[in-house]
Structure formats: structure tokens, C-alpha cells
Amino acid sequence: MSAAPSHEIRRRAPDGWLVASVLGLCGLGLVMVYSASSVVAFEQYGDAAYFFKRQLLWFVIGCLAMATTSRIHYAAWRPLTAPLLGASLLLLVLVLIPGVGEVAGGARRWIAAGPLRLQPVEVAKLGLVLYVAHFLANRRDAVRSFWRGLGPPLGFAGLLAALALRQPDMGSAVVLVGIALGALFCAGARLWHLGLVVAAALPVGLWAALGEPYRRDRILAFLDPWRDALGSGFHIIQSLVAIASGGLFGVGLGQSRQKFFYLPERHTDFIFAILAEELGLVGVAVLLGLYGLFAARTFRTALRAPDRYGALVASGVGCWVLGQAVLNVGVASGALPVTGVPLPFVSFGGSSLVVLMAASGICLNLSQYATAARELDVYAQWPARTPSPRGVG
């Protein structure tokens, strides 16, 4: 099946279900940020709503970003791929420079500008999604070749991941590599090629995990958190206590006991545990359902995109959000070693929220040019040429 010619593509209303999933996740995040952070915010700043107010401000900015990107034709992002990726690399280098990068929690991950703080790795995630889509859009057959198809995207992902590891931020490094692998899979890369990449990456990941004492402690804590219950295993144990305390319906919104200085990073990396404690299995089901809806609508947009570039952009965003959510939930539930990865749209953090909402806006623009439904295995049939913004009604 061939895609509809650009002059036959008519602009439709944005995908309402995709909007609903984004706003639902953000709304749930605002509620949980306030609940999870109120105790520590009052103790540190004398204002229980301190973190909530900041997150609300970032949500408003994110809404403006999503509204803006949803009005920009998705093809307009292709010429911006190189500048955005270059800016991401520059920011990831600058954040490592003492005096430029801000240190918090033992990591140098932020660039501060007055009251604002930017986390460059979040910009790099979006830049990587756009780069992989741009690179593979005109290389339909090259993706079946290991060196011509997989080499450049994985090379850039590896470079970004290496810079993230220097901060250090192993969680984001894993997400960056995961974005590239997910996009390559959606583009039609051979499974055994991807398997070789994963097999080759495992020793590197193990070396990175065991190369630093604190990472080695995290691996040991993952295998047996009770071995050092008050040290390296503390995060996992307190997170599991919170999740187990929630039961079916939770202890009640705002009634968490673990947020009273038991569970660290309660409104950022471990906000899922507080949500599970307060809202129970029902609340967790709602959260996971919203992520499922987001993933379903982004992949649906990919399947109905008018060209290969649009399909790969939507697929990349879907892999990014779904993969990061799985990683965060896996850490909070003790299924994966502890890594500092925020829960998309939900955890406190302005850079992550604004960039994710901007990326969602790009998918919303794509959904306005959706064509007839296609089968899952026809990515190779999309035309490489992206319709011009002027040629689309």
C-alpha cells in the first residue's frame, strides 16, 4: 500500500485521546508532587506547596510548548535536526565544566540560569529521536545493514550516553540507548543485529555499573537489599514498604507515611511508590492505563503517518516515554537496580516535563495528517520524501 499523495492529505483535528493521556498524566503528577513533597517542602522552605507551585509553573510552560509544537508542521523539524543535536552535545559538555554545571546529589546534571535550571540530557533525548528519524527516513534499505543502518544512530546514542555517564547519570544513558534501539526496531532493523548490539552492550553496562563503588553497591542492594538495609538497600526497602502498604485502594490521598523522611527522592525518582501507597492498586492501574493509552495513540499515529519520517518520530516518542516509565516503575518495585530516572509527566522536574510535552505536541501535529490504517510490518513501504508544509492543506 502506498501513502496518500501530499495534495490528498487533509489536516484533521489533533488526536483527542493523546491529549487526554498527556493531561491525565500531568494532572496526576501535579497531585502526587504536592502530596509526596509537602512534608519535605515545609521542612526545608516553610511552604508545603513549594514544589507543587514550581511544577505547576512548568506545567503551564509545557502546555504552551505543546500547543506551539502541535501547530508547527512536523516536516519543519527535519532541517533543525543537526542544530538541535549539536546543541544537545554542547550542553552535555558544558554541564560537566565546574562553575557551569550545578552539582546536586553528587551529580553534575543541571545548568543554572538564575532561578531556572536546565537538564541537558532531556533535550538530548528529543534531539536523538529526531536525528534517528531523519537519518532512517531516506535509508529504507540501509536499516537492514548493520554498519550503514545501525552504526550512525547507535554511535550518536553511545556518544550521548557516554556524556550522560560522566555526570554521572546511568539511568538517562540507558534511556538514550533504549530510544535508539526502539526506533531502529520500529524502522525494520534485523532482530539479530539488535540482539548483537544488546549482547555487546551488556559487558559495557556491567563495567559501568561495577566501575564505581556506589553503582556496585546498588547492584548488590538490588540482589539482596536486606544485606545493607540502612545503607545501599534503604531506597528499595522503603519503596517496597510504601507499595505494599497501599493494598487495593491505598491509605488515602495525602496520608502516606513513607513520605515522612523514610523514602528518599519521594517526589522525583520514587514518586511511583508514594502513588501506590496512597492510591493503591487502583491508582497504579489508572497510571499504567494512561501510559498504555499514550503509547497506543503514538504508535497509532506512527502507523497512520503520511511518510516514513513522521512514522519514526512518533515511534521514537512512544518508545521514549514507555521505556522510561517501565524503567522507573521497575526500579521502584525492586525489579531493576536503582537508577535516577524520573517517571514521565509525573515526577517533579521542569526540563523533563516541558520537553516531553513539546515532543507530545509534535505527535499531535502528526496525528492531524494521519492517513488510512496500515499493518504493523509496512514501515518499509512509506515514501522517504516528507510532504512539504506548503503542500499540505
Q: What angle do CA 352, 376, 133 make, to 5 degrees?
A: 45
d(CA 357, CA 345): 8
| Predicted local distance difference test score (pLDDT) of residue 169 | 86
d(CA 179, CA 175): 6
d(CA 290, CA 279): 15
Other C-beta atoms lying within 10 Å of the C-beta of residue 237:
18
- Is the pLDDT reported for residue 242 higher than 60? yes
Mean pLDDT over 345-369 rounds to: 95
Higher pLDDT, 196 or 361: 361
CA nearest to 70, candidates 346, 318, 367: 367
Q: What angle do CA 349, 351, 352 make, to 5 degrees?
A: 70
Mean pLDDT over 244-261 rounds to: 93
Q: Per-domain residue ranges for the chain?
A: 6-90+118-391
What does the longest C-alpha to C-alpha distance in the chain come to? 65
- Is the pLDDT reported for residue 379 higher than 60? no
pLDDT band at 3 (very low <50, low <70, confident <90, very high): very low
> In this structure, what is the dihedral angle of CA atoms 189, 195, 199, 204, given to the nearest 10 degrees?
30
| Predicted local distance difference test score (pLDDT) of residue 211 | 67
Q: Taking the model in full, what pTM does it have? A: 0.89
Mean pLDDT over 310-318 rounds to: 95
Q: What angle do CA 357, 119, 203 make, to 5 degrees?
A: 100
- DSSP, collapsed to helix, strand or coil, labels residue 108 as strand
| Predicted local distance difference test score (pLDDT) of residue 276 | 97
| Predicted local distance difference test score (pLDDT) of residue 385 | 55
Separation of CA 312 from chain center: 16
pLDDT band at 378 (very low <50, low <70, confident <90, very high): very low
Q: What residue has cell string 550512525?
A: 152
Mean pLDDT over 296-318 rounds to: 94
